[in-house]
Amino acid sequence: MSGFVSTYGDITRVRVEDPGRFARLAAVRRRRTVADVMAGAAPSSSGTMMIIAADHPARGALGAGPRPDAMASRTEMLDRMREALAVPGVDGVLGTADVLEDLLLLGALEDKIVFASMNRGGLQGSSWELDDRFTAYDAASIAAAGFDGGKMLTRIDLGDDRTARTLEASARAVTDLARHELIAMVEPFMSSRPGGPGTPVVNDLSPEAVIRSIHIAQGLGATSAYTWLKLPAVAEMERVMDATTLPAVILGGDPVGKDPDTVRASWQAALARPNVRGLVVGRTLLYPHHDDVTAAVSAAVEMIR
């Protein structure tokens, strides 16, 4: 398709000289649908999705594994994203507008499912981290771009009054996405600051906490018809997934301090549940311990297929 570029310098040139090209390319982009993938009708699919995530930098979270600044270089991250998206069996991508528009201009979003990240205002390490404002995509812009849905992180701290604002914003987003017949991908956690105000936010990954977060998340919005859940792979996934009839995808998380074989085993156990319909993985596959992106992504694709 004409309009694509081949160098990162060209991206900057288009941003300066022809910013309307992003919308024009989005309008004619070749698309696959989530329904096609779920039905096994898309190439290399078997009813499960493999999505590569790259929305962490917009929250100021640049670390991956032992590297605190792994995602600091945008061009390196784009190299890794393009390599991952080119692996057969990878269905799509999750990102903020800056990342998705770069990939769109490079031609990397053709025939891909695209989820747009919506709330990135809860910057990592900030005093207001749990007051997670919607500072990225909204439902109207996702629909205009021809993308498949929007993702929202919804951390719930019962000891922080600001949680109520995040819940209200997430509920509005679920309702707005449904009005556009777009998937609302809700990623809930029961969270806290065990060290007190100003200390790092910690997510409770016990089965009981994940079950509680599921029940809160699936009640958000005026309808749950288009709601999917994005959940961690934790212990007792059979009991955890019995908390919902909604479709779910499993998140990859940050690989720091985790044995890769153990991580993959936890994904595999989660994928065995009938309402788990895929993986959404970012840093674990983009910055693997052996630094071979293609090998890491291929192994994950083989596992879910």
pLDDT digit string, tens, across residues 50-79: 999 999 999 999 999 888 999 999 999 999
Asked if residue 23 is part of any domain, the answer here is no
pLDDT at 197: 86
**pLDDT at position 41 over 90:** no
Asked if residue 27 is part of any domain, the answer here is no
Q: Which of 6-15, 39-48, 170-179 bottoms out in mean pLDDT, i.e. has the lowest?
A: 39-48
Mean of per-residue pLDDT scores for the chain = 93
The residue segments making up the domain with residue 83 are 8-18+32-304
Asked if residue 25 is part of any domain, the answer here is no
Q: Per-residue DSSP letters for 244-293?
A: --S-EEEE----TT--HHHHHHHHHHHHTSTTEEEEEE-HHHHS-TT--H
pLDDT at 256: 56
Asked if residue 1 is part of any domain, the answer here is no
**pLDDT at position 181 over 80:** yes
**Mean of pLDDT values over 175-179:** 98
pLDDT at 254: 63
By DSSP bridging, strand 92-95 and strand 49-54 are parallel
- Where residue 42 falls among pLDDT bands split at 50, 70, 90? low
pLDDT in tens, 262-302: 888 888 889 999 999 999 999 999 999 899 999 999 999 98
pLDDT at 255: 56
Asked if residue 179 is part of any domain, the answer here is yes
CB 52 within 8 A of CB 108: no
pLDDT at 191: 97
pLDDT at 230: 98
Query: Residue 121 corresponds to which tokens in the numbers above?
Result: 């205002």
Percent share of the chain, pLDDT over 70? 95
pLDDT at 66: 87
**pLDDT at position 97 over 60:** yes
pLDDT at 65: 85
Interaxial angle between packed helices 74-85 and 97-105, expressed in degrees from 0 to 180 and rounded to the nearest 10: 60
What's 260's domain CATH number?
3.20.20.70
**pLDDT at position 303 over 90:** no
pLDDT at 44: 53
pTM over the 0.85 mark? yes
Asked if residue 3 is part of any domain, the answer here is no
**pLDDT at position 142 over 60:** yes
pLDDT at 266: 86
pLDDT in tens, 187-239: 999 999 999 888 999 999 999 999 999 999 999 999 999 999 999 999 999 99
pLDDT in tens, 72-94: 999 999 999 999 999 999 999 99
Asked if residue 289 is part of any domain, the answer here is yes
Asked if residue 104 is part of any domain, the answer here is yes
Query: Residue 77 corresponds to which tokens in the numbers above?
Result: 């991250």
Give the bridge partners for 50, in sequence order: 279
**pLDDT at position 257 over 90:** no
Look at the chain and report how many structural domains it folds into: 1
223-252 burial, b if ≥16 CB within 10 A, otherwise e?
ebebbbbbbbbbeebeebbebbebbbbbbb
Can you tell me the distance from the alpha carbon of 241 to that of 253, in angstroms, rounded to the nearest whole number?
A: 18
